[in-house]
Amino acid sequence: MSSILDRLGIRPLIAAGGPNTNHSGTRPRPEVFTAMIEMSETFVRMDELLIAAGKEIARMIGVPAATITTGASGGLVLQSAAAIAKDDPKAIAQLPITDGLPHELIIQRSQRFGYDHLYMVPGGRFVEAGTEEGCTAKEMSDAVGPDTAGIIYVITSGRAGPSVSLEEAIDVAHSHGLPLLLDAASALPPRANLTKYVNMGADLVSFSGGKAVRGLQSTGMLLGDPKWIEYARLNNAPNSTVARAQKVSKEEIVGLIAALDAFLAVDEEEETASYRRDMQLIVDQVAEVPGVTASVKHDDDFRLPHAVIEFGESWRGPSSIEIGKAFLAGEPRIYLRHGDSRVNGIAVDPLNIQPGELEIVAETVRSTLVRATSGERLNA
Ligand SMILES: *Cc1c(COP(=O)(O)O)cnc(C)c1O
């Protein structure tokens, strides 16, 4: 791959910070490309392919219905469009102009998040419930009015602010005859989450295809109730709708199925144990660095085992953000999680680390932290 990067004049990086879009996402499994090449030589009707692929994904996962989207983000746009226009051809053609259509989406103030503006793309507008400090089910219910189209919920990390539980939010939505729209983009693994939220009653649930699933970065899945999935599909490309720019190609569609096949075939316990061993190797390397505490963490903040290196009181080196920049400027160039609300320090995510890179990451992290804490300037 160095020939194309040489031609373009850019340097590759070791992706030890997880499937972050700005650092080129994930490593699609080889099966994805085999399926895509095969599909590239075949022509189909796109409506047939999308419906059949949605059915197949629903069957593989074990949920009532599914459709394919452009990343989890594309799914958020469709959730909103489905809630507002449903299957009414006139309304679908009209979006993002919402005159005469209920188009308010209720969101807890404490759950506002970086991607929530995507719900506004088809004309949805937020009505915030509660405060930064939290929200009650009653406050959420009281926010419902004649123009409400749905209730938004996001699965965040363990450290998220206080909010109405998903169970309660689903109850509130259904008691008003509204859909519960869920962003679960990065809530994988555990694989059990693929069915969990739909089984709880969430009507439309978005997942990324380009994070832990290791499909293409540009793909995602919308899972849920058959009626709402059909509404989402009607509002999606290739139809000439507000989401027409969110086209998924026939190759991407079969690529996602291949990625899911491989993702679902993995023994999760074995996978976790293997990632744990790898991350322990990094933790062991930095055990002696003054001022840091390192451990392997695996919880709602870190959905795969991570090597988490925290800077304590006696840390003498630069901030997490500066350290992260220094790693990106170094040779080899390494992307680590840094400047992250979950940890005052840095973290290594095993997902994208390739054979042979683990030892390089461990040694570079150790030597860089030793230099940093001894007051040496790191070039960033
Ligand atoms: C990653 C993420 C997204 C975006 O997912 P894409 O598949 O990259 O479009 C949306 N919401 C949350 C909470 C995420 O973590």
Assess whether pLDDT exceeds 90 at residue 377. no
Q: Is 208's C-beta closer than 6 angstroms to any atom of ligand 1?
A: yes
Instruction: Find all residues with CB under 8 Å of 43, minimum gap 6, and list them.
Output: none
46-61 helix and 250-265 helix, angle to the nearest 10 degrees: 10
C-alpha–C-alpha distance, residues 54 and 296, integer Å: 37
- Of the residues 26, 152, 183, which should be mutated to test ligand 1's pocket, given the most ligand atoms within 8 Å of the CB? 183
The alpha-carbon radius of gyration of the chain (Å, integer) is 22
Mean predicted lDDT score pLDDT of the chain: 95
Contacts of 229 (CB under 8 A, 6+ apart): 54, 64, 65, 66, 67, 204, 222, 223
Topology agreement, domain 2-23+267-373 and domain 43-265? no
Q: Please answer whether residues 184 and 119 qualify as being in contact, where contact means their C-beta atoms are separated by less than 8 angstroms.
A: no
- Residue 288 contacts by C-beta under 8 Å, 6 or more apart in sequence? none
Q: Is 301 in the pocket of ligand 1 (CB under 6 A)?
A: no
| Residue bearing the bigger pLDDT, 159 or 289 | 289
Is residue 115 in contact with ligand 1, taking CB distance under 6 Å?
yes
Tell me if 210 CB under 6 Å of ligand 1: yes
Quick one: which of 109, 99, 194 has its CA closest to 152?
A: 109
Amino acid in position 100? G
Q: Is the CB of 246 under 6 A from ligand 1?
A: no
| Chain segment 173-214, per-residue pLDDT in tens | 999 999 999 999 999 999 999 999 999 999 999 999 999 999
> Which CATH number is 43-265 given?
3.40.640.10
Ligand 1 pocket, residue 154 CB under 6 Å: yes
Ligand 1 contact, 71 CB (< 6 A): yes
The whole-number average pLDDT for the span 306-315 is: 95
Least reliable range by pLDDT among 19-33, 125-139, 146-160, 329-343? 146-160
C-alpha–C-alpha distance, residues 58 and 50, integer Å: 12
Best residue for ligand 1 mutational test, from 20, 73, 76, 256 (most atoms within 8 Å of Cβ): 73
Which atom of ligand 1 is least distant from the CA of 113?
A: 13
Q: Is the CB of 19 within 6 Å of ligand 1?
A: no
- Percent of the chain past pLDDT 70, that is, above it, reads 98
Cα(76) to centroid of ligand 1, in Å?
A: 9
pLDDT of residue 1: 57
Residue pair 206/66 in contact by the 8 Å Cβ criterion: no
pLDDT tens-digit series, residues 68-109 = 999 999 999 999 999 999 999 999 999 999 999 999 999 999
Q: Which two tokens stand for residue 278?
A: 């790898």
Ligand 1 pocket, residue 21 CB under 6 Å: yes
CB 339 within 8 Å of CB 373: no
pLDDT at 230 over 90: yes
Atom of ligand 1 nearest to the CA of 211: 7
> Right CATH number for 2-23+267-373 from 3.90.1150.180, 3.40.190.10, 3.30.565.10, 3.40.1180.10?
3.90.1150.180
Q: Give percent above pLDDT 90 in the chain.
A: 93
Domains of the chain, residue spans: 2-23+267-373, 43-265
Q: Which range, 130-134, 152-156, 172-176, 338-342, is most confident?
A: 172-176
pLDDT score of 157 more than 90: no
Q: 72 alpha carbon to ligand 1 midpoint, in Å?
A: 5
| Predicted pLDDT of residue 98 | 98
Give the model confidence (pLDDT) of 255-266 as tens digits.
999 999 999 999
Quick one: which atom of ligand 1 is closest to the CA of 156?
13
**In 267-367, where do the E strands start and end?**
292-297, 306-311, 334-340, 343-348
Please state the rounded mean pLDDT for residues 270-277.
98
Predicted pLDDT at 174? 98
Each residue's pLDDT tens digit, 36-70: 999 999 999 999 999 999 999 999 999 999 999 99
Per-residue pLDDT, 162 = 75
**What's the pLDDT score for residue 158?**
63
Contact 304, 359 (CB under 8 A): no
Query: 167 CA to middle of ligand 1, Å?
Result: 22
The pTM of the full predicted model, rounded to 2 decimals, is: 0.96
Out of 186, 188, 219, 304, mutate this one to test ligand 1's pocket (max ligand atoms within 8 Å of CB): namely 186
- Band (pLDDT 50/70/90 cuts) for residue 161 is low
**Please, are residues 89 and 231 in contact by the beta-carbon 8 Å criterion?**
no
In the block, tokens 């739909």 appear at 198
What are 293-306's pLDDT values in tens digits?
A: 999 999 989 999 99
Predicted pLDDT of residue 341 = 83
Is the C-beta atom of 153 inside 6 A of ligand 1?
no
371 C-alpha to ligand 1 centroid (Å): 35
354-357 contacts at long range (C-beta below 8 A, 24 or more positions apart): 354/14, 354/27, 357/14, 357/16
CA of 211 to the centre of ligand 1 (A): 9
Write the pLDDT tens digit of every residue in 332-344.
Answer: 999 999 988 888 9
Q: State the pLDDT at residue 159.
A: 59
Q: Is the pLDDT of residue 272 over 60?
A: yes
Selection from 286, 334, 326 nearest residue 307 by Cα: 286
The closest alpha carbon to 344, from 372, 321, 326, belongs to 321
Angstrom distances, CA of residue 44 to CA of 39, 50, 236:
9, 10, 18
